[in-house]
Amino acid sequence: MRQATEQWERAIRVDLTSVFWCLKYQVIAMLKTGGGSIVNTASSLGQVAIANASEYIAAKHGVVGLTRAAAAEYGSQGIRVNAVLPGIIRTPMIARLTEDARFSAFFDRLKERHPIGRFGDPSEIGEAVKWLLSGASSFMNGAAMAVDGGYLAV
């Protein structure tokens, strides 16, 4: 039980509390300079749940809620706050796992859940963040934007 509790605490500290502290100091700085745009990183799992990931799910749902609350609180002061919700992204960690025979079948099934038929590329998340930070998204505030190959659509 102690190990599970420590795992939960670490997940909340890393995946939620760190976002809170960054957001706090970004808002303080932006209030002094007249506003700006903040993009938090949550996960497509910030909208749904799966088994065996309770601490991660809770933290990412928290990031989405924190994003929406901050958007409501600071939007009138020129600060837009949105979140990007990546799906499975081909990072080095995911590449190692998909090549591992113990996990390859799991990732093959997971890929089938993506209507686009593949996992994402880090640059695709970067493009979404770039757009959310730009003036082209000036009417976006409090949004949780899925960049997940359609995972949440099915």
Catalytic residue among 25, 56, 74, 151: 56
List CB contacts of 47: < 8 A, sequence separation 6 or more: 61, 64, 85, 144, 146, 152
Number of domains in the chain: 1
For the chain, percent of residues with pLDDT exceeding 90: 77
45 alpha carbon, distance to own chain's centre? 8
Q: Which two tokens stand for residue 90?
A: 């081909």
pLDDT of residue 1: 55
5-16 pLDDT, tens digit each = 888 898 899 999
pLDDT of residue 2: 63
Candidates 143, 125, 151; CA nearest to 63 is 143
- We report the CATH number of the domain holding residue 66 as 3.40.50.720
* Residue 3 predicted with pLDDT over 80: no
25 catalytic? Reply is no
Mean pLDDT of 47-75: 95
Give the structural domain span for 118.
2-153
- The Cα 110–Cα 129 span in angstroms is 24
